[in-house]
Amino acid sequence: MKKILWTLGVVLVLLIGGVLIGPGLVDWNKYKEDIQAQAKTATGRDLVIKGDISITVLPAPALVASDVTLTNAKGAAVKNMVALKLLEVRIKMAPLLAGRVEVERVKLVNPVIELEVLADGKKNWEFETGPANTALVPPTKAKDASGQGKKAGPVDGKAPGTAFVLDSFTIENGTLIYRDAKGGIFERVEKINANVAAASLAGPFESSGEAMVRGTPLSYGVNVGEFIHGRTIPFNLRLGVTSADAKVQINGTLVGLEDQPKVKGKVKGEGASLARLIQAVGPKSALPGFLGQAFSFDGAVTAAADGADVAGLNFRLGSTQASGDVTATLNKTMAVKVRMAANRIDMDKWLSLPPVDAPSPAKGGGAKAPKAEAPVAAGQTGSGAGPGVDSGAFALPKNISASLGLTAEAITFRGGVIRNGVVNAELANGEATISQISAQFPGGSDLAIFGFLTAENGKPRFEGELETTVNDLRGVLRWLGEDMKGIGPERLRKLNLATRVIAVPEQLQLAGLDLQFDSSRLTGGVALALTKRPSFGADLTLDRINLDAYLPPATPKPAKKTKQAQDIKGTKKTATTKPQEKAPKVENPFSALKVLTEVDANLKVRVKNLVFRGSRIKDVTMDGTLYNGDLELRRLGVAEMAGAQATVTGVLKGLGGIPEASPLSFDMKAGDLSKLLNLAGMDGAVVPKGLGAVNVSGKINGKLLAPKLDVKLEGAGALGRLQGQIEGLAGIPTAKGLKFSVSAGDATRLLKLAGIEGKGAVKQFGKVVVEGAVDGNLLQPTVTLTLNGAGGTVSLSGPVNTLTPTDMADLSLKASYPNLKRLIRALGVAYTPAGKIGGLDIQAKLRGGPKALTISGLTAKAGAVQMTGDIAVGLEGPRPAIKANLSAGAIVIDPFLPAQKSASLWDGLIIRPAARRKPSSGRWSRNPIDLSGLGTVDAEIAFKTPLLQFEKYQLRDAALALKVAKGRVNAEKLTGVLFGGALHAAGSATATNRPRIETAFALENMNVGQALKAFAGTAAATGKLSMKARLQTAGENLAGMVSGLSGDGNIRMRGVDVKQGNTGTAMAGALGLVTALNQVGGLLGGASKGSGLVDISGSFDITGGIARTGDMKVASAVGNGAATGSIDLPRWLIDVKGNVQLAPNLLTAFLSSRTGGRAAQAVPFTVRGKLDAPTINLDTSKLTGGGLPIPGVDKLLKKAPKGVGSILQGILGGGAQQQGTSGSTGGSTGGSEPPPPPSDSSRQQQKIDPVDLLKGLFKRR
């Protein structure tokens, strides 16, 4: 028996050992096919176990399988639905023997699970065979025998599922992928590390873990209580975002499990920074500072299968609080309704907070998740897109409707309050309607926005209307901190804006823009590209604007005070330049344009009417494109601007550096340049009077600091052109082949503009062409200039140095005019010379600068006249100072005089007989004499010539020293030889419009014969004339000067002998008296041959143009006499009378013997009438006291020599004329007064035999 028991024991031990140890000795890999077949039967999918299978019993039952996959449903995106690197299941032995299943551990290593909603709507987790839903569900109602349902109760007094315990269910590095191709959803949750524990299938449950969702690390914790009566489960869910230090917690219960499950509880959350939470789950960009504040929220949550709502939701951000409700319903479409209201938002505080920087990118080094067996389909990423859908695509769900309502009673901003802020929006059918965005701003302003938000090509699109009204624009601008100083108080009062708004991620458009402010209206459209590089386009029209009312008043710029550097001692420092020092770097003057390289723009702008500086400007247009730092101007123009029009077209490249024109064309027409300059603020600019319309056009090529120019200027009937290149405009400009020219078909207007015109208009200058060139740097250029006009050429050439002001120019001057007559006529003088005057040639060296000029080596030839000398002009003083030393050869004036006039040295000397002189209203010219122009210069002039000749007038060895200073002209010396007499003169005059002249002169031993021949054309007399005088006068014209003449002097004529009577000169009276005396002396006898010479001398005083003398003396062989009288120069009259005491002779002796000693020795005379044709009376009747009656004297007188009869008739009486004469002797060119009737005593005188008388008279001859 004992042996049997031992045998049975051994067998039992062997059986038990076989059961416990045997499975470990079995190769379970041989059963893979059976296991896979059973899985196929259960799921309809292929289970593939590529690794080994291990099943053990001791010390606890365990199943281990590696490299396990479960294939996916047909039509799925990837091959496998499940992929496991390792599966491990361990069950506790003791509870199992007691009839309880206590799972010690279930472990999944690197699991990858693909959940997908297929295109046909099927789900890949629904299997073709076997249970369709493997999820744990609470026990269902059982049916009693009657068929009525009854509540499931505990089995054997225990809760359902109490026989099952799960100590640990762990997932290591798992991946869960969810796809919905139809809905365009793709989600990938990675790095899942979780642990689950269940006391029983009826709870409680506990789980915690972490995962990476959309790149954001999340942590979670959940506690689920034990089922209460099979219908209620308490739970506590905690979620955390570790990188943002934020968490959310939901406490509540899941009720109605047997009927309609519903969640009721409380939700609350908090975080240190809302910005960090947004950056953790959204874009990793910088965010505004107010989002960096701490936040929290809480509310009551109610959720069921048909919807959820959060009531009494309170949200806090910093110190700002808002409250409201969120409701969501789940029917065929989800409906969400959000209503939130805030009492006050402190925007000033929000804006004062510093921005939240973007988070730094995470450093590498973390473990990489293992790849699933099949790669993600093309076009997919791990951040939310379905197959073929861009992960960043924007879409509004069509199966969700939503309503959003946000209000804020007050928003404080910049110290003001924005009230009643409202946002109302709805979402339906994949389109969001923004029904209202409105607010009331300070200044009686309001803003309203209405529109629609849609998804178009995977991008959001907003299209709506924006309207705003500002009743107090100045108040709003002050609120916004804008300074309105200088803007008129009547401006910026009201604003109205209405526009359509179209916005997509890449662009914002304002279409149908209508902006009205004050009296102006701006219409058009604007498009703004919302790209990394700012760009915009605009097509705008402004109807009118008065810029003067918006711009501050212009203030004159204060004059800059320049001080010369001085050393300690007060002496001026002179700048010295060291050769080794480098020139300072010149800054780019166009650097301000660099900002234009950071933006692109396409502009088309028009201003119909604009007022600027009081001028109306019409149709200002700008049509251009700014792209990548280049500006293309299709048109920049002004239709009317101060009488001008202007257009600019072309391209400017490289605005970030030195802009380059390629090319830039411009065209401007101005009717009145002065108006345009005034508009430009150049009020002091001097525009030549009569310039008229001006047209400037041209092109600019190349860098703007080294441009190539081609500019045309048209105006005043002329055409100017500038061609060439100027380099170094930022430093020292340098001309390279810079040429200029001016041409005019008729130079009349140009010469007038230059102030060159005569008394009449300059009409005959003809065509003029000015050409020149400038080479080298503009501080020291070489200049050539040529003027062709009026039949001749003037040229200047040589270097110019602006660095040395005292010696700036060193130019050669050449002028050649073959026809001087044409040149003079071209200058507006109606000139026809009396003879051939030839041409004009000038050569000289021109040196100097702004302070002084010198003309040296002057050689000039005008016809036959040659002139040399030097001229210096000082320009530093208040007036130009001229010093000239000139010498000329013989100068014959006659050919240069106008042919139509017989000119004389002065108006009183006209070379034509008085009988042919036409009466005139006045001898002296009343044309104004204005010397005020001489007051603009100072001068010292020395001039000499061996001969200055006019007709027969010859001033030999002429020398003149002249000074002009401070408005006064001083002729310090005028010397020469005039008609053989030495002339010495000096004088002065005031340079005013009523000159005052003073002069003193002396003329010694002038040859009377030469003078008469020059004046009258024949040497009618001989003798010498000397004269000295000091004279002064003042007047506006020659007539006034003669009338105001005053002074004194003396005159002496010696040895005057008149061959024949002479008239037509101012000496006619003196010469006529000499003629009469000579006739009487020759008749009376007693004088030797050639003794007809007469001396006349005396002094005179002049007052009011009338010369008076009281000591005039006459000495001759006939006798000596004295005279007194006056010469009235203004009226050109003479009135002189005197007596000649006859020397004893035959006639006087004979008459004395016959008359008993009664014959008179004194003969009175008078000179009266016009100064150049007076009446001369020599009263010889006084010799006999009335004349002697002689019978038959008439026949006798006829036989007397020529010239004697009249004298004898006056002495003796008788003859046919005796009754009509008084016995006077003389001549008259202008008639004589009738003599008085003969006295009674003459008729009673003793009769004399005429034969005896004549014999006595003529026998001596």
| Residue 357 CB-half CA count within 13 A | 3
The number of residues making up the chain comes to: 1261
Whether 1231 and 1102 map to the same domain: the answer is: yes
Residue 576: predicted pLDDT: 41
Domain-embedded: residue 369:
no
- Shortest CA distance to 764 belongs to which of 683, 824, 704? 824
The mean per-residue pLDDT over the stretch 762-783 comes to 85
| Residue 4 CB-half CA count within 13 A | 1
Residue 889: predicted pLDDT: 92
Whether 505 and 626 map to the same domain: the answer is: no
Whether 430 and 540 map to the same domain: the answer is: yes
The mean per-residue pLDDT over the stretch 79-94 comes to 85
State the total domains in the chain: 6
955: which residues sit within 8 A by CB, 6+ positions away? 947, 948, 949, 976, 977, 978, 983
Task: Give the residue with greater pLDDT, 886 vs 399.
Answer: 886
Which helix (H) or strand (E) is 938 found in, with range?
strand 938-950
Structure tokens at 1146: 């035959």
Residue 514: predicted pLDDT: 94
Question: Quick check: 1004 pLDDT over 80?
Answer: yes
Residue 1082: predicted pLDDT: 56
Residue 121: predicted pLDDT: 82
The confidence band for 874, taking pLDDT boundaries of 50, 70 and 90, is confident
Q: Which of 433-447, 786-800, 936-950, 1212-1226 has the lowest mean pLDDT?
A: 1212-1226
Whether 278 and 222 map to the same domain: the answer is: no
The mean per-residue pLDDT over the stretch 304-310 comes to 85
Residue 1197: predicted pLDDT: 47
Domain-embedded: residue 68:
yes
Whether 775 and 852 map to the same domain: the answer is: yes
The mean per-residue pLDDT over the stretch 854-881 comes to 90
Whether 703 and 729 map to the same domain: the answer is: no
Give the range of the structural domain holding residue 674, as residue numbers without chain letter.
604-707
Angle between helices 1146-1154 and 1068-1084 (to 10 degrees): 60
- Quick check: helix, strand or coil at residue 1045? coil
Whether 1068 and 1183 map to the same domain: the answer is: yes
Whether 1078 and 1124 map to the same domain: the answer is: yes
Q: How far apart, in whole angstroms, are the C-alpha atoms of residue 136 and residue 134?
A: 6
**Which 8-state DSSP code applies to residue 287?**
B
Task: Give the residue with greater pLDDT, 1222 vs 452.
Answer: 452
Q: Please report, for residues 103, 108, 376, 525, 562, the alpha-carbon distance to residue 126 in angstroms, rounded to integers and kept in the order given.
A: 26, 22, 22, 57, 96
Q: Report how far Cα 539 is from the mean position of its chain's Cα atoms.
A: 24
Rounded to the nearest integer, the mean pLDDT of the chain is 77
The confidence band for 709, taking pLDDT boundaries of 50, 70 and 90, is very high
Whether 656 and 533 map to the same domain: the answer is: no
Domain-embedded: residue 781:
yes
* DSSP secondary structure string for all residues of 597-642: GG-EEEEEEEEEEEEETTEEEEEEEEEEEEETTEEEEEEEEEEEET
| Residue 920 CB-half CA count within 13 A | 13
Structure tokens at 650: 């072309």
Last residue of a domain, one of 527, 549, 571: 549
Beta strands in 367-474 (DSSP E): 400-413, 416-428, 431-441, 445-456, 459-470
Question: Quick check: 703 pLDDT over 60?
Answer: yes
The confidence band for 1059, taking pLDDT boundaries of 50, 70 and 90, is low
CB environment 1079-1104: b (16+ within 10 A), e (fewer): bbbbbbebbeeeebbbbbebbbebee
**Which 8-state DSSP code applies to residue 918?**
P
Domain-embedded: residue 54:
yes
| Cis previous bond, 204, omega within 30 | yes
Task: Give the residue with greater pLDDT, 1134 vs 1080.
Answer: 1134
Domain-embedded: residue 302:
yes
Helix, strand, coil percent content, the chain, rounded in steps of 5: 15, 50, 35
What is the per-residue pLDDT across 551-563, written as a single tens digit (0 to 9) for each?
776 665 555 444 4
The mean per-residue pLDDT over the stretch 1-27 comes to 48
Which helix (H) or strand (E) is 955 found in, with range?
strand 953-965
| Residue 1035 CB-half CA count within 13 A | 19
Q: Please report, for residues 507, 723, 1037, the alpha-carbon distance to residue 930 in angstroms, rounded to integers and kept in the order given.
A: 78, 45, 8
Residue 997: predicted pLDDT: 92
Question: Quick check: 768 pLDDT over 90?
Answer: no
Whether 691 and 722 map to the same domain: the answer is: no
Q: Read off the pTM.
A: 0.56
The mean per-residue pLDDT over the stretch 406-410 comes to 91
Residue 446: predicted pLDDT: 85
Question: Quick check: 519 pLDDT over 50?
Answer: yes
Domain-embedded: residue 855:
yes
- Shortest CA distance to 503 belongs to which of 434, 584, 562, 441? 434
CB 444 within 8 A of CB 493: no
Domain-embedded: residue 773:
yes
Q: Which of 179-188, 448-457, 902-911 has the lowest mean pLDDT?
A: 902-911
Give, in degrees to the nearest 5, the angle at Cα 196 between 190 and 198: 160
Question: Quick check: 720 pLDDT over 80?
Answer: yes
1122: left (phi over 0), alpha (psi -120 to 50) or beta: beta
Domain-embedded: residue 1133:
yes
766: which residues sit within 8 A by CB, 6+ positions away? 746, 747, 789, 790, 791, 826
What is the per-residue pLDDT across 141-187, written as a single tens digit (0 to 9) for each?
444 444 444 444 443 444 444 556 777 889 999 999 999 877 778 88
**Which 8-state DSSP code applies to residue 570?**
S
φ/ψ (deg, to 5) at 764: -120, 15
What is the per-residue pLDDT across 265-301, written as a single tens digit (0 to 9) for each?
999 999 999 988 888 887 778 888 888 999 999 999 9
283: which residues sit within 8 A by CB, 6+ positions away? none
Q: How far apart, in whole angstroms, are the C-alpha atoms of residue 318 and residue 322?
A: 11
| Residue 1002 CB-half CA count within 13 A | 4
**Which 8-state DSSP code applies to residue 1074?**
H
- Shortest CA distance to 1041 belongs to which of 1099, 974, 983, 1102? 1102
Task: Give the residue with greater pLDDT, 828 vs 1044.
Answer: 1044
The confidence band for 1061, taking pLDDT boundaries of 50, 70 and 90, is low
Residue 762: predicted pLDDT: 52
Whether 1098 and 1193 map to the same domain: the answer is: yes
Task: Give the residue with greater pLDDT, 44 vs 603.
Answer: 603
CB 1144 within 8 A of CB 1120: no
CA dihedral 319→322→328→333, nearest 10 degrees, is -90
What is the per-residue pLDDT across 210-223, written as a single tens digit (0 to 9) for each?
999 888 899 989 98
CB 525 within 8 A of CB 538: yes
Last residue of a domain, one of 684, 707, 730: 707
The confidence band for 525, taking pLDDT boundaries of 50, 70 and 90, is very high
Q: Please state whether beta strands 996-1007 and 1021-1034 pair in parallel, antiparallel, or not at all (unpaired).
A: antiparallel
Last residue of a domain, one of 669, 690, 707: 707
The confidence band for 29, taking pLDDT boundaries of 50, 70 and 90, is low
Residue 1089: predicted pLDDT: 37
Whether 1211 and 1064 map to the same domain: the answer is: yes
Q: How far apart, in whole angstroms, are the C-alpha atoms of residue 744 and residue 209?
A: 98
Q: Which of 313-327, 479-493, 580-594 has the lowest mean pLDDT?
A: 580-594
Q: How far apart, in whole angstroms, are the C-alpha atoms of residue 284 and residue 275?
A: 10
Task: Give the residue with greater pLDDT, 909 vs 348.
Answer: 348
Question: Quick check: 773 pLDDT over 90?
Answer: yes
Residue 734: predicted pLDDT: 92
Question: Quick check: 582 pLDDT over 70?
Answer: no
CB 104 within 8 A of CB 88: no
- Shortest CA distance to 980 belongs to which of 1014, 1005, 1013, 947? 1005
